[in-house]
Structure 1
Amino acid sequence: MLWFFVSLIALVGGYFIYGTFVEKIFGINEKRQTPAYSQTDGVDYVPLSTPKVYLVQLLNIAGVGPIFGPIMGALYGPAALLWIVIGSIFAGAVHDYFSGMLSVRNGGASVPNISGKYLGSGAKHFMNVFAIILLLLVGVVFVSAPAGMITNLVNEQSSLHIGTGFMVVIIFAYYILATIVPVDKIIGRFYPLFGALLVFMSVGLMTAIIVSDEHTIMGGFTMSDMFSNLNPKDMPMWPALFITIACGAISGFHATQSPLMARCMENEKSGRFVFYGAMIGEGAIALIWCTIALSYFGSLDGLSEAISQGGPGNVVYSASFGLLGVFGGVLAFLGVVILPITSGDTAFRSSRLILAEYFNVEQKTLRSRLMMALPLFVIGAILTQVDFGIIWRYFGFANQTTAVVMLWTASAYLLRHHKFHWITTIPALFMTTVCVSFILNSSTLGFGLPMQLSTILGFVAAMTMLAYVIKAAKGNKGIDLSDVEETPDKLTKTV
């Protein structure tokens, strides 16, 4: 129990201490007009209150990643908790803050355009392709996962018997609607209510396992276990742990979501709470599910058996109903189901906006929005026929690679403005090494090279990227209008 609360306190402390430091390095301007006012269109650029923007941001970024990832990561033991805390504070939250605030400073631009501005046209074209691929994978993962979970819930708790395919159609229909209607009609209106359900799920489950007489929180683990690989199947921790626990520590998917709320935020002073704070909130969710996974089944062997019987979804189902009973279990389970649905719809919405920016297609009319969205849904529907396990593995790698590009983009921005760039460069170096090592070593996704060689090449790739970013920042000495102070007549009163 002590480890959980120490980890949670560390996350909260990270928000107030390191989050304030990051905000100071960036340098906010409370008088600067945000895109929500300068580009209001009633569809995607709509001013929303700070609490509402925070809740929407949290639900946008928190799909099944901060639940499924930490459950799978828990197989390595308490070391998973350590990565969630360190990753969230020093990598994930920093990544999310810069992806959001650089979008605010660049008129609500999506991550490909931001990367292109600070890393060059090659990075822009790469990210346009890669971001669309990632978002389609996210959309498919966040259709298949909740469809299977809802089907399981209905069939287990009622006399009805529905198929997963039926739920896939229902969720896709909702995604189409949420992707094309103005952001304040569904997302801005209902997500705060979903946020309340999410809070109930998180607090309720953690409280239940704390007061339970049948389960001891992380009983049997020692301090040395925090730095050990306890995987029952002796799977290597490096670099797989840092790919497995993605959304609970750092996730490139968030970089595609932050611009959505950058277009709705009323004042730059809200950036730390909305972007950095939402990642800390997601880290707390990841801590809860990692702790439950380490505690509920009595041992790592028990957890491994539960996962083998039905994947991480089975762990969610068993823990929800086992700790909270039928009524509480249904609410908690629905809270988990809502997470991927509220991320899946914004994944397709983000891909629509990225395509619209690339082809320079206005999005004020319904016809234009449908023209961008429908091809994406056709491709997504086709991908749902691919095995979920394969999709998830590719999603994990694509997700972290996108995070790497965003971190290097932030470093280029900071270098260009002679600011302390190590807050993004250090996590960029680490995650570059992780991603390159993983793809070189993986026999299923990559090249199957020996781990030692893969790690050396990963480090070389990271240092090469650092040299490139430094050169790109020095070679781009033009005026950056995103940091130019605005004159009083260009400012609007914010609320």
Structure 2
Amino acid sequence: MLFFIACVGLLILGYFTYGVFVERVFGPDPDRKTPCWTREDGCDYINMPTWKVFFIQLLDIAGLGPIFGPILGALYGPQALLWVVLGSIFAGGVHDYFSGMLSVRKGGESIPEVVGDFMGSTARQVLRVFSVILLLLVGVVFILGPAKLLSNMTGLNVQLLVFFIFCYYFVATILPIDKIIGGLYPIFGALLLFMTFGVLGGLIFNGYELLPNLDFTANVHPNDLPIWPLLFITLSCGAISGFHSTQSPLMARCMRNERNGRFVFYGSMIAEGVIALIWVTAGVSFYESSDAMQAVIAAGSPSAVVNEICNTLLGTFGGFLAILGVVILPITSGDTAFRSTRLILAESFKVDQAKIGKRLLIAIPLFVLAFFVSRADFAIIWRYFGWSNQMLSMMVLWSAAIYLAQRGKLHWIATVPAVFMTAVDAAFILQAQIGFGLDATLSNIASVVIAGGALVAFLRYVHPVSPIGGKGTATGTL
């Protein structure tokens, strides 16, 4: 119990200490007009209250990731808790803050355009393709996941539920952001809070010992899967997730003032970290062993774990509301995943989105493609999502490091996590069956060499750039 409280306390402390430090390094300008003032279009660029922007950002990023990821991470043991705390404060919070604030400085542009400005036109083109594929996978994962949960709750056919969720996503993708997303998300936020703290309260009041195993030296995964690099790929949302960088520009278009950036972007990452802590704790505390939890996952999916925990701890009605909250989480990320995809494609092909006809021109073929992707096996989709997700987080962190280095600022706050994630991604793809399938020891050594090479190249070739007018930045616009 005390260790869990300490973890939550560290996350909160991180927001008020390291989050403030990151903010000062970036240097927000409260007198500078944000995109919702300069590019208001009644659809995607809309001025919204800060509390609402925060809730939308939190629900955008808190899909199935901070629930399914922590459940799967809990199979390794309490090490998952350490990754959530350290990852959220020093990696995820930095990643989310810079992906949001750099988008603000670039007029609300999507992440491929932001990355392209700092890593070149080739990176821009790669990220355009990469982001669309990632968001498509996210959208599909966040259709299948909630559909299965709803099917367990209602007995309705999964494919019928997939159809209804598809319909909702389509409407939410093309309508102005304040109509559905801005209107429903405060209600969904209340469900999120009930679900999260309901599970925690259920563990306490039902007499479960919180975190009975605090042996950080033992890997208790029932399949003997290695912590490095798999834990850092599996448990992404709740620590650091590239998907978040595709969502931050949505709120960069609606945020009223740059001084709100820490609360909206860094703060929502910390809040997601708390959600992840609760679900890691639930997984470790509810089941007697990792083998017992693995048996439930193998019989269904992580959604079966959610179903069992919620109904056992909160009873039939409470369990229904809690699971409904878990259903809402992925849906509130799936709708914005498709919305982000529409905007990335629109920016890539220079298609104005103020008129609904232009939005339909992109949305209709996008959803047709998503339907065919949804026919693939869920486990395969999730596996590819994990790696591509962390590849994107790595590139965003390197972009933030380049941005800071070019301006003579303390780039290490982004460089260190960028190097770490480079090693994680390299190790995974070198040894994973979806990659090169190399020996673990060889791939781990190679990953360190690759990450070290990236750092050397960065330090050698990225230098401060003389300002070209305007507030002493390298471009005069950032």
TM over 0.5: yes
TM-superposed CA distance for 1:277, in Å, is 0.4
Match of 2:231 in 1: 241
2:126 and 2:454 map into 1 onto residues whose CA distance is: 15
2:200 to 190, 197, 206: 206
Match of 2:181 in 1: 187
Query: Against the structure 1 CA distance between its residues 38 and 294, is the aligned structure 2 distance closer, same or farther, given a 3 Å change threshold?
Result: same
1:381 and 1:483 map into 2 onto residues whose CA distance is: 48
Q: Which digits, 9 at most, give the CA deviation of each residue in 1:242-300, with x for residues without a partner?
A: 00101110000000000000000000111000000000011000000110000112222
Q: Does 1:174 align with 2:164?
A: no
TM-superposed CA distance for 1:435, in Å, is 0.3
Letter in 1 for 2:45: Y
Match of 1:278 in 2: 268
Query: Against the structure 1 CA distance between its residues 302 and 411, is the aligned structure 2 distance closer, same or farther, given a 3 Å change threshold?
Result: same
1:437 and 1:252 map into 2 onto residues whose CA distance is: 17
RMSD: 1.8
Q: Does 1:459 align with 2:445?
A: no
2:407–2:465 Cα contact (<8 Å) kept = no
TM-superposed CA distance for 1:486, in Å, is 13
1:408 and 1:313 map into 2 onto residues whose CA distance is: 34
User: Structure 1: 5+ residue runs without aligned partners?
Assistant: 156-161, 491-495
2:467–2:475 Cα contact (<8 Å) kept = no
Q: Does 1:413 align with 2:426?
A: no
TM-superposed CA distance for 1:301, in Å, is 2.1
1:315 to 291, 305, 315: 305
Q: Name which of structure 1's ranges 188-197 and 292-301 shifts more when overlaid on structure 2.
A: 292-301
TM-superposed CA distance for 1:357, in Å, is 0.6
TM-superposed CA distance for 1:484, in Å, is 5.6
1:258 and 1:113 map into 2 onto residues whose CA distance is: 13
2:467–2:473 Cα contact (<8 Å) kept = no
TM-superposed CA distance for 1:378, in Å, is 1.0
1:179–1:349 Cα contact (<8 Å) kept = yes
Match of 1:149 in 2: 149
1:392 to 369, 382, 390: 382
Query: Against the structure 1 CA distance between its residues 270 and 475, is the aligned structure 2 distance closer, same or farther, given a 3 Å change threshold?
Result: closer
Match of 2:210 in 1: 217
Show the 5 A alignment for 1:87-486: 87-155=87-155, 162-213=156-207, 215-219=208-212, 221-222=213-214, 225-442=215-432, 444-470=433-459, 473-474=462-463, 477=466, 479=468
TM-superposed CA distance for 1:483, in Å, is 6.7
1:118–1:473 Cα contact (<8 Å) kept = no
Match of 2:35 in 1: 35
Q: Which digits, 9 at most, give the CA deviation of each residue in 1:332-352, with x for residues without a partner?
A: 000000011000010000010
Letter in 2 for 1:145: G
2:469 and 2:68 map into 1 onto residues whose CA distance is: 41
TM-superposed CA distance for 1:149, in Å, is 0.8
2:88–2:240 Cα contact (<8 Å) kept = yes
Letter in 1 for 2:98: F
Letter in 2 for 1:305: A
2:470 and 2:446 map into 1 onto residues whose CA distance is: 37
Query: Against the structure 1 CA distance between its residues 304 and 190, is the aligned structure 2 distance closer, same or farther, given a 3 Å change threshold?
Result: same
TM-superposed CA distance for 1:463, in Å, is 2.6
TM-superposed CA distance for 1:469, in Å, is 3.6
TM-superposed CA distance for 1:467, in Å, is 3.7
TM-score (norm 2): 0.97
Letter in 1 for 2:439: P
1:412–1:470 Cα contact (<8 Å) kept = no
TM-superposed CA distance for 1:477, in Å, is 5.0
Query: Against the structure 1 CA distance between its residues 417 and 165, is the aligned structure 2 distance closer, same or farther, given a 3 Å change threshold?
Result: same
Match of 1:493 in 2: none
1:243 and 1:423 map into 2 onto residues whose CA distance is: 21
